[in-house]
Structure 1
Amino acid sequence: MTTPLLSLYRRITRWPGGHWLFARAICFKAPYFASISPRITVLEPGRCEGTLSDRRKVRNHIGTVHAIALCNLAELTAGLMVDASLPAGMRWIPKGMEVQYLAKARGRLHAIALPAQAIVAATEAHALPVVVSIRDRAGSEVFQARIDMWLSPVRDSKA
Structure 2
Amino acid sequence: MSQALKLWKTFQNKPAGKWTFSKLLCLKAPYFSSISPVFDELKPQYCELHIKKQRSVLNHIGTVHAIAMCNMAELAGGTMTDVTVPSSHRWIPKGMTVEYLKKADTDLTAIATPVDANFTWNAGSDYLVNVVVNNTRNEVVFKAVITMWVSAKK
**TM-score bracket for this pair, using the shorter chain length:** over 0.9
Specify every segment of 5 or more residues in structure 2 that has no aligned partner in the other structure, as ranges.
Answer: none
Mapped partners of 2:120, 2:43: distance in 1 = 15
The match for 1:121 is: 121
Matches within 5 A, 1:136-155: 136-155=135-154
| C-alpha contact (below 8 Å) 1:86/1:120 kept by paired residues | no
How far the C-alpha of 1:3 sits from its partner, in A, is 2.5
| C-alpha contact (below 8 Å) 1:102/1:142 kept by paired residues | yes
The match for 2:69 is: 70
Mapped partners of 1:119, 1:84: distance in 2 = 14
Matches within 5 A, 1:41-60: 41-60=40-59
What secondary structure sits across from 1:23 in the alignment?
helix
The match for 2:78 is: 79
Structure number, greater radius of gyration: 1
After TM superposition, the score normalised by the length of structure 2 is 0.96
Q: Percent of aligned pairs with the same residue?
A: 44
What secondary structure sits across from 2:32 in the alignment?
helix
How far the C-alpha of 1:4 sits from its partner, in A, is 2.4
Specify every segment of 5 or more residues in structure 1 that has no aligned partner in the other structure, as ranges.
Answer: none
After TM superposition, the score normalised by the length of structure 1 is 0.94
How far the C-alpha of 1:121 sits from its partner, in A, is 3.0
| C-alpha contact (below 8 Å) 1:87/1:120 kept by paired residues | no
How far the C-alpha of 1:116 sits from its partner, in A, is 0.4
How far the C-alpha of 1:6 sits from its partner, in A, is 0.9
Q: Which amino acid aligns with 1:17?
A: A
| C-alpha contact (below 8 Å) 1:110/1:135 kept by paired residues | yes
* Residue 7 (str. 1) matches residue 6 (str. 2): yes
Matches within 5 A, 1:98-109: 98-109=97-108
The match for 2:94 is: 95
Q: What do the CA deviations read for 1:49-100 (whole angstroms, capped 9, x no partner)? A: 0101000000000000000000000000000000011112100000000000
Q: Which amino acid aligns with 2:78?
A: G
What secondary structure sits across from 2:64 in the alignment?
coil
Q: Give the aligned CA root-mean-square deviation in angstroms.
A: 0.9
Mapped partners of 1:106, 1:52: distance in 2 = 12
The runs of at least 4 aligned residues of structure 1 exceeding 6 Å deviation read: none
| C-alpha contact (below 8 Å) 1:111/1:133 kept by paired residues | yes
Aligned residues: 153
Q: What do the CA deviations read for 1:137-157 (whole angstroms, capped 9, x no partner)? A: 1111000000000000111xx
